[in-house]
Structure 1
């Protein structure tokens, strides 16, 4: 990391293994879970849960274990229990497709209500879940009545984007981003060669002006940060915060493969 980027980000290690950086002056804690904690705003942010991805593949004959939603909600619940946020923001693609809510197990669906109770719960629209979040109400006729009732009864509120302090939260990063953009969508991952083997891990990416979050969902894939779709968003080599077992590792750009 060059001196100018270090001065902008002022990275610091948190006791829990998370990494604290500054984006447009805002303290951003990069959590080991892949979530983002904004302590000055008591706000927890997570991107790309892709709930019910397993059941979506099963409906097409691709047998994946049907436990992704439960595993993802377990991790989200642990973050909420540990931080007790006043506000939770899900950055879009929270559901894998338009029928995901209807396929959720009843206890998983009920857990969403419990997690949202007593706090400001905000869904940002993603390309996968606009219909699932009820943004396309004109499409309601395509759903069974009972299923649409479940869609309409999700807790919280739905917005296309959200401003939190100096940060602009959105689902998909723009090529010409506004300062403070915090986005998901791209599922960034880093590959590092070490000890005669290559390790691939989900990661955060930031240059102090914008921040891209890793996918939070249990069954989500990833795109190498060196791919032009990610690398091309930054004019200088950014910090890469790689998720480890018990800490977020700040890695130099030239160490990636």
Structure 2
């Protein structure tokens, strides 16, 4: 399994190349911003047709991470669906695949701004969730400590590697990359993210082999608009 161990608030979390986090001590896999059903939502609201394969690709990645880690529980950090209607609009095959993953283990849904409530699927639903020294919510709260969140879809560009989804972290918080196949992103150096991440800080770039690099929390430039 390709992963990078990160000491955080007295715990050890393993950042996977997919953008997921594994917390072995709690037998927990953590993912954020799956945005399942995005192509259906775009077709429904905008009339634009995209290849409807992103849900299947995301679920296949999730199943692979579960097989690799053996995690007995999953925590989804919000925006698991592109909207609540997208959850109902999953095709029968994708819905059956998702339900099979949920029913095989413990499952926690943290609500996001795209899916602010239960989506009619098994599992436990939370506005936010605290486990041991860590708090899980969708959008980072200023001043929080021991917090894991998503929402911003951070990406970082490196010479020779292109722009890549990344995990950002300092001593107080982690901001996960988007896990979904069709999700866009926000430059990791955008003011919104620099304001949240202290110093020293680091980014873990996703990919076949996760790459740890220093994060310029108080410098650099970027425009803050997420690209979807």
TM-score higher than 0.5 here? yes
Deviations 1:109-129 (A, max 9, x none): 111221112421110000001
Given that 1:112 and 1:155 are in contact with CA atoms closer than 8 Å, whether structure 2 keeps it comes out as no
Matched, 1:162 2:137: no
Q: CA offsets per residue over residues 87-123 of structure 1, 9 Å max, x none? A: 1100000000120122101011111221112421110
Between Structure 1 and Structure 2, the one with more helix by share is: 1
Correspondence for 2:157 among 191, 196, 201? 191
Q: Does residue 1:205 correspond to 2:171, yes or no?
A: no
Give the number of aligned pairs.
Answer: 218
Which ranges in structure 2 are unaligned for 5 or more consecutive residues? 222-228
| Residues 192-245 of structure 1, C-alpha deviations (whole Å, 9 max, x = no match) | 123xxx71000000113211100000000011110011111123141110112x
1:220 has 2:187 as partner: no
Structure 1: 4+ residue segments shifted above 2 A:
252-257
Take 1:117 and 1:62, find their aligned partners in 2: how far apart are those partners? Answer: 34
Tell me how large the CA RMSD over aligned residues is. Answer: 1.6
Structure 1 or 2, whichever has the larger Rg, is 1
Question: What's the offset of the Cα at 1:164?
Answer: 1.8
TM-score (norm 2): 0.91
Unaligned 5+ segments in structure 1 are 1-15, 134-150
Compare relative contact order (CA 8 Å, sep 6+) and give the higher one, 1 or 2: 1
Q: Cα distance, 1:252 vs. partner?
A: 2.2
SS at match of 2:57: helix
Check if 1:176 corresponds to 2:143.
yes
